[in-house]
Structure 1
Amino acid sequence: MNAQYCFHAHVHTVSAMSSHVPQGLSRAQQGAALVVSLIILVIMTLLGVTAIQVTTSEEKMVANLREFNIAFQAAEAALNRGEEVAKNLVKPNPSNNCANQGLCNPVCSTALGNVPQCQGKLDDPPIWESIDWGLNKADGSYTGPALIYGAEKFKDEDFRSKNRVTIASFPTDSVARQPRYIIEDISPGNVPSATIYDGLYRITAQGYGQTLDSSGQPIARVTLQSIYKK
């Protein structure tokens, strides 16, 4: 009987231990699982926010690059047009501040050398920096000194009319503003003869992107320049 009593007591003790220890472990495991879940949730949230920010930045970069490409192509077209116009000049009559239809006397500069027709003080800002490229009337038409691509108004005494090529402007929905250009006569002496004037010209063109900012200005603009010798 004593042996049986001890045996039953031993079994009872083991049973009590096996029923008590797993309960404590279960609570600890549940707490750890909750902490791990919260950490994973925070990490996933941060990754999601970062992914959204990266996507937004990439979209802005793509949009800006597209605007730049449009502006560059427009400026390049205007520059080529300016070279074609310079090629057909007969007896150019450039003026100060490009007042005569985009035909300009250059600003005097040390680098330019002896150009008697230059304007302003020596080494003043160049003409393409001083004129207003974006001066517009209330109706949106341009009133500044530059020549508008596809909408030039030429004088026969300045250009060879027989070689004049008419071109179409850019579609209004493709650019925020039509590209434009100016032609500076930088020929030494600038003495046009009765025949075709064999001159040296500096052509500056400006093109614009497709979109305007909140102030009504193109968000992208590109300025190109070339020296053209007839």
Structure 2
Amino acid sequence: MAAQRGAALIVALVMLLAMTLLGVTAVRNTTLQERMAGNLRDSNLSFQAAERALRAGEEFLQSPTIPPFVGTNGLLTMQDDAGRGSFWSAYDWTANGRTAPNVSEVASAPRYVIEELPPVPVAGGSERFAPLPDVGFFRVTARGVGGTADAVTILQTTYRR
């Protein structure tokens, strides 16, 4: 009988190691893809919530009468830094924003703020007729949160009334 050297055992162990590495890599890849899909869904939810808040602000401005813009309840006069994202990131939305109808599956209700911009004179008119009234513009800024508080979307739109 010939002496056995164990070559089959070594080959089997190397194959087992290769298959284990392949399995671990596949599990890590799947986990990463699941996290990416969850983050994308979270981002999409926050965007939908912010869009809903924008629509709520525009619907508010469509009402026949609107209260004065005195800096309370989400109705502000024009803010100098409001065009910058850093201004709205530090803004206290809970105390100063208006709540929009809730979107399902979000961490907190979407909120919006309306700024009254300076009136813009309308070109036109004539000597025969009275001048046209100034046009009012408003900037609606909305904040939506996704399924977690980490996904935040801030959107702005300008509304003419």
Bin of the TM-score, shorter chain as denominator length: 0.7 to 0.9
| Residue in structure 2 matching 1:149, options 77, 100, 109 | 100
Determine if contact 1:89/1:197 at 8 Å carries over to the other structure: no
Residue 62 of structure 1 corresponds to which residue in structure 2?
Answer: 37
Give ranges in structure 2 of 5+ residues lacking alignment: 121-132
Aligned mates of 2:31, 2:89 — CA distance in 1: 35
Determine if contact 2:79/2:115 at 8 Å carries over to the other structure: no
Identity of aligned pairs, percent?
Answer: 39
Secondary structure class of the residue paired with 1:201: strand
Paired residues in the alignment total 149
Determine if contact 1:78/1:205 at 8 Å carries over to the other structure: yes
1:199 partnered with 2:159: no
Ranges of 4+ aligned residues in structure 1 off by more than 4 Å: 123-127
Aligned mates of 1:124, 1:63 — CA distance in 2: 28
Residue 132 of structure 1 corresponds to which residue in structure 2?
Answer: 92
Secondary structure class of the residue paired with 2:118: coil
Compare CA radii of gyration and give the structure with the larger one.
1
Tell me the TM-score normalised to structure 1 length: 0.57
Residue 107 of structure 1 corresponds to which residue in structure 2?
Answer: 79
Q: How does 1:73-88 map to 2 (within 5 A)?
A: 73-88=48-63
| Residue in structure 2 matching 1:220, options 148, 151, 160 | 151
Tell me the TM-score normalised to structure 2 length: 0.78
Q: Which amino acid aligns with 1:149?
A: A
Give ranges in structure 1 of 5+ residues lacking alignment: 1-18, 113-122, 136-143, 151-168, 190-195, 212-217
Aligned mates of 1:34, 1:146 — CA distance in 2: 70
Aligned mates of 1:198, 1:41 — CA distance in 2: 76
Residue 130 of structure 2 corresponds to which residue in structure 1?
Answer: none
